[in-house]
Structure 1
C-alpha cells in the first residue's frame, strides 16, 4: 500500500456526521449567501478596513494562470470569482458596497506568489478563490496588518491548498478542507481524512476484486502527499495497489508505456492518476495504443471535470469516471445557485475550480452578511470575517456542494459521480439529479507518515 501506511484500522468521521447517514440528500433551494445584507439603521457606509471604502469592497483572486509549464492552469478560478462578483453586484452588492475583483497572477512561481499575497494585503480586503501551488510561506498572510495597523491577518478563501503551511494556517478558509487533520501535523504519523465513498459504488457495480495502479503527481511534493492521502483512502476501502508510480504532469505519452505494461502484467482492472487532466488523457491513449483490455474502472477526480479533458482525449477517454464534490453543471434545473453560477460565469468558462471559487465567494458573503446583521455595514473588517467563519459548520453554497464543516476543516462525506458517455459527462451516482451520496462512512481517516518522506 502507498503512502507509508502505519496502521490499517480505518477510523470513521466524527459523530457530528451521523445525521447524514441516510445516504443521499436532496439539495434544493438557495441560501441567502449571495445577497448583500443591509443595516437596519440605514447607516452610511465608510472606509472600515483595507480594501473597503464607502462604495467598494475590493477582493483579490490569486491564481497560477500565465505559465509556460501549464498555460491557463487555474484560469477557471479567476472566472469563478469574477462571475460571483457580477452575481453579487446584480443583487445589490455586499454591506451596501459594490464588489470589485483584482486578479493577481501568481504564475506558478514562489516569488510571484508571495508578492501577490503582499499586494493583496496592502490593497484588498480578502483573497477569494486562491489557486496557487507555491504558497509555502504564509508569514506575510498571517502578519498582514489591517487599517489600524494591527496584524489581524489576511482572510484567504482558498480553492487550491497543497502546501502544509497554507492548509493549516488560521488565515486559510476553504470550502474543500485539506486532507491532513491539522492538529496532527507535528505527529509521526499524521492523521489524514479522505472521501473514498465511490470505492463502495465501484465494488458494488464491478465486484470486490478491483486492483490496479495509482499515479501520484511528482512535480510538487505537497501535491504528491495530497494524492497519496486521497488514494490511500481508496486502497483502505479495498481497491488494492498493484503498483504505484510518480508522474510529472509534463510527461509525454511515452512515459506511460511502462505503466501500461505493468497493468498488463498484473491484470489490473483499475487505474487513477492524481496529476493534471492531461496525465489521465496520456494514460488512456497509451492504454489504447497497447491494446490494454480488462480495465473496469478508469478513475479521476476534480481535475478531469473539464471540457479540455474530453476535447483532448476524444474517444480514448470514453467511460472515464470522475468524482465530484459539487453538482454536475448540466443540472441547473435542480438548483438555482448552480444556474446562477453557469449564467454569470459562462457555460464555456465553467470548470471544477471555478465552481469552488464561486462557492468561496458565497462563503465570504455569508460571513459579511452575518457581520452586518450584528454590527451594521461599518462593522465589516478582517477580524469580524474570521469570527463569523468560525461559526460556519454546515456550508453548502446554496446546495451546490455537500454540507461541509468549514470552521473545523472537515472533509465532506458528500460526492456525486459522473462518467464520460458519448463525449459528455453524465451522472451515474446517485442516479437522481440534484443529489449527493452523503453516507458518513464515505470519509475515512488514515495514519500516514507523509511529512517525513
Structure 2
C-alpha cells in the first residue's frame, strides 16, 4: 500500500472504527460438535446463551503449530486503549477477551489445553509493531480491534497469521485472507436492514430524510455508502446542503435553520457522537425543528445517554444488530457477557460483546480441531461456519462467507434510557435476506479477486480452506 494511502486511512480510522464495527458503550448459534480429545457430557453443561460451551477438559496432545503445546494454546488479543488522544479506546474488547479466557480456562481450557493470552495495546498508531510481535509468538489473533489495522495487514499476511478479529477497519483487513469475524463488515456487501426498519417505522424517513455529513474522510465515505443504500431501497435524501466542519464550527444554528427550511422530517448520520454533533442537535431543538433522528449504532452509548439528560435527543433512534444491554433480562447471552466482564471490573460496551462473540467463534472451531489444532484446521473449520449469533448476542451472520447480518432492531432514547421500539417484541430482530445489498466497487478501497479476497498483500502461500 502506498504511504499516502495509509496516511489517509489514519486520518479517518479513529472515526471509522466505531462505524465499521458497530462500536458504542452501551437467532440461535449452532452447537459445537464433539471433536477428538473432547469429552462429551461432563464438559457440555456450561452454556453461553444458546451456545453450548466449547471449553472443557480433554486429552488433546501435540505441539501442532506455533503457540500450541500438549498443555496450552497461546493467542494474541488487544485494543487501542493507550491512544493518548482517546484514552481507553476500545478497552472493552481486551477486557472481554481477558474475561473469556478466564471463563474458558475455568472449565479446563480447550480440550484440556489451557489458554494463554498475549494482550497488546496498539495505541492506535502501533498496529504494525504489535502485529510483528504477534507473528513471532501467537497461534492466532482473537477478538482484537486495532483502528489502524490496514498498516499491519501486510505483516499478518506475510507471516500467515490467521485471525478471528473483533472488528476490522481497513478494506484490505476486512477482505484479507485467513481472516474471520463474528460480525463481518465486508466492503462489497452492506446490511441495509436499519434503513428499511426506519423507512417502515417512520413515514418521514421514507419521504423527507437527509444526511448529516462532515468534512471527515471517514464520514464522507460512510455517507456515500449510506446514500447509495438508501437509493437501493427507494429512499432519496433531500440534499439540503449541510456539511459540518470536522474541526468544528462557530455556530450550528445556521445548519439547524437550513434543515428546518428544507422541510426535513428525519435525519441520518454516519458521524460519531462528539461535541459538534451534540451542538447541532441542541441547535435543532433551539430553532424548533423536530426531525426523527435515526443514527448509526455508535449513538447507543453512555456518553449520548448522559448528554440527553435534558431530553434534547428524545427523538433519537439507533439501529443495532446486537442485542442492547437493556434486553439482558430476556437474552441470556447478554446477561452472561455482563456478568463475566463485570466480575473482572472490566468495561462493557457493544464492542466488548463483539470481541466475546469472536472468542466463542474461535473456541468452537478450536474444539472441533481436537488434537489436530493447526492453523490449517482452524481456517478449514471457520470457513464452514455460515450461521453465527455468539449464543444470541447478535443477529445471525455468515463468518465463513464474510457476509453481514440481514437483520436489525431499533432502540429509542428517552432521557438517559434506551428501549427497543422495533420490532415491538423485545429481543426480536427484523430480518430479510434482501436487506444485504451489493455495493459500488468504487467504494471498496481495494481490489478483490474472484474469491472476494483482497489482492493487495496476497501471497501464493497463504492458508486457504481445504476440503
1:326·1:401 contact (CA, 8 Å) conserved in 2?
Answer: yes
Distance 1:245 1:102 in 2: 46
Structure 2 SS opposite 1:396: coil
> Which residue of 398, 408, 413 corresponds with 2:406?
413
Cα deviation per residue 1:349-394 (whole Å; 9 max; x = unaligned)?
A: 221111111111111011111111xxx3xx1122211111110001
Q: Does 1:70 align with 2:77?
A: no
Distance 2:313 2:220 in 1: 24
Q: C-alpha displacement at 1:156, in angstroms? A: 2.0
Q: Does 1:342 align with 2:338?
A: yes
Distance 1:436 1:157 in 2: 25
> Which residue of 90, 97, 109 corresponds with 2:106?
90
Structure 1 residues 348 and 97, CA, compared in 2 at 3 Å: closer, same or farther? closer
Structure 1 residues 52 and 253, CA, compared in 2 at 3 Å: closer, same or farther? farther
Structure 2 SS opposite 1:410: coil
Structure 2 SS opposite 1:364: helix
Structure 2 SS opposite 1:277: coil
1:27·1:400 contact (CA, 8 Å) conserved in 2?
Answer: no
Q: C-alpha displacement at 1:452, in angstroms? A: 7.4
> Which residue of 343, 355, 358 corresponds with 1:357?
355
Cα deviation per residue 1:189-242 (whole Å; 9 max; x = unaligned)?
A: xxx42333443444443344232224267255xx64345324531343244323
Structure 1 SS opposite 2:329: helix
Q: C-alpha displacement at 1:179, in angstroms? A: 3.9
Distance 2:329 2:360 in 1: 20
- Report what 1:141 is aligned to: 156
> Which residue of 217, 229, 236 corresponds with 2:232?
236
Q: C-alpha displacement at 1:171, in angstroms? A: 2.2
Distance 2:283 2:180 in 1: 39
| Superposition pairs of residues 202-351 of structure 1, within 5 angstroms | 202-207=199-204, 208-215=206-213, 218-220=216-218, 224-243=220-239, 251-252=247-248, 254=250, 256-278=252-274, 280-288=277-285, 290-295=286-291, 297-314=292-309, 315-346=311-342, 349-351=347-349
- Report what 1:130 is aligned to: 144
Cα deviation per residue 1:22-61 (whole Å; 9 max; x = unaligned)?
A: xxx689984446332555xx35x44332233343322222
1:326·1:402 contact (CA, 8 Å) conserved in 2?
Answer: yes
TM-score (norm 1): 0.79
Distance 2:430 2:103 in 1: 29
Quick check: which one's strand share is greater? 1
Distance 1:257 1:155 in 2: 49
Q: Which moved more, 1:361-370 or 1:312-321?
A: 312-321
Moved beyond 4 Å, runs of 4+: 25-29, 244-248, 255-258
1:37·1:369 contact (CA, 8 Å) conserved in 2?
Answer: no
2:305·2:416 contact (CA, 8 Å) conserved in 1?
Answer: yes
1:30·1:336 contact (CA, 8 Å) conserved in 2?
Answer: yes
| Superposition pairs of residues 154-173 of structure 1, within 5 angstroms | 154-173=161-180
1:273·1:280 contact (CA, 8 Å) conserved in 2?
Answer: no
Q: C-alpha displacement at 1:443, in angstroms? A: 2.4
Q: C-alpha displacement at 1:323, in angstroms? A: 1.0
Structure 1 SS opposite 2:76: strand
Structure 1: tracts of 5 or more residues without a match: 1-24, 145-152, 182-191
- Report what 2:460 is aligned to: none
Structure 2: tracts of 5 or more residues without a match: 1-26, 31-47, 447-467
2:193·2:407 contact (CA, 8 Å) conserved in 1?
Answer: no
> Which residue of 180, 196, 208 corresponds with 1:199?
196
